[in-house]
Amino acid sequence: AARAVGQAYTTFATQRLGKPPRVAVGRDNRPSGGSLAQGIAEGIAAAGGSALDVGEAPTPALYFATKTLPVDGGIQVTGSHNPPEFNGFKMVLAHDAVFGDDIQVLYRLINDDKLITKAGGTQTAHRGLLTAYRKAIVQRNAPLARRLKVVVDCGNGVTSLVAVETLRELGADVVALFDESDGTFPHHHPDPTVLENLRDLQAVVKKEKAELGIAFDGDGDRIGAVDEKGEPVLGDQLLVLFGRDLVRRMGPGKPVIFDVKCSEVLPQMLKRAGLEPVMWKTGHSFIKQKMKEIGAPLAGEMSGHMFFGGDWYGFDDALLTWPSRRPTSLPRSIPFRRSTACASRSPRGGDCCGPRIPSRSW
């Protein structure tokens, strides 16, 4: 099945680009990731494309590869924040997400047996992506205004390979939690929007008297945060902080996109900061498309996806989220909790993004 997806993607890309594509292929650390990535690469090569294996890496690092390596697109094998037995694919072509109707095109190519088979395809390995990714983040953000004590919960996800080292290189005093890469997620599920998954982080922040705590999801494109008291800081509160930092760096009047799950307080706070709030559909692909359409330098979702354009590449990246260029947003006002100023509220349920309603339609 993975081979068919790789071949369908390459068929689609060849039709779109007018030539066989060069494709970066990455994966998170789930047990099935290696075999699925190999299948994707074989499918790309079977259709005449060039597959560049960048290895295990967070999804944002794969996005980074599509911006900085000589490739036409990328495919990340990841189950994101889903249980370890699940897996899937996030795809990029010509700097745009492949989603919606394009996914249906891939399905029809496979279902109607219209896949290209072409000689000349290649499979090669590229090493050094994580090093380049880490250096780019450090170059953009270092040094921190002052040394901060931060608890970092990698949840045994693929950010374990790069997060702690990156934050220490930025100058943070890092207390690492569950930073051994293990795609079975033995300690807790890596979904920081579920409050139960933040319990360990909250406890260690208070025990270590840290100034803040951050948690990553399984593939590193979403962030969760708690303040120095261990209280959750929600996605819309984080977006206000980044919005204020954006005004300091780029001036007022810039559009900032937020998704429909955010609170009604958020647009009020963005306007008060001198920004233009734009509400849009939930979903990282929709948000990135809208950012490109209106030239927004910042966007965020209640779920913890935070997107940075302007002086960055416009994709969602949890590791990039907490240190801004002038690191005055998250740690600017300590205690950290006071600096949220969005609304002194805590989620009432077990989910930072609102209630989840069971569906029987599957």
Closest CA to 343 of 242, 228, 263: 263
Identity of residue 328: T
Q: What is the DSSP letter of 316?
A: B
80 is catalytic: yes
Q: How far is CA 340 from CA 70, 332, 336, in A?
A: 40, 10, 7
SS3 of 27, please? strand
Catalytic residue among 50, 80, 329, 339: 80
Retrieve residue 150's tokens: 């931060």
CB 279 within 8 A of CB 260: yes
CB 80 within 8 A of CB 41: no
The label of the residue with tokens 């969005």 reads: 342
Task: Find the Cα–Cα–Cα–Cα dihedral 105, 109, 114, 120, rounded to 10°.
Answer: 90
Q: Which residues of 240-253 are buried (b: 16+ CB within 10 A; e: fewer)?
A: bbbbbbbbebeeee
Calculate helix-pair angle for 101-111, 2-17, nearest 10 degrees: 110
Closest CA to 188 of 163, 160, 154, 161: 154
The label of the residue with tokens 């929600």 reads: 234
Query: What would the DSSP string read from start to end of 196-214?
Result: GGGHHHHHHHHHHT-SEEE
Q: Which residues are catalytic?
A: 80
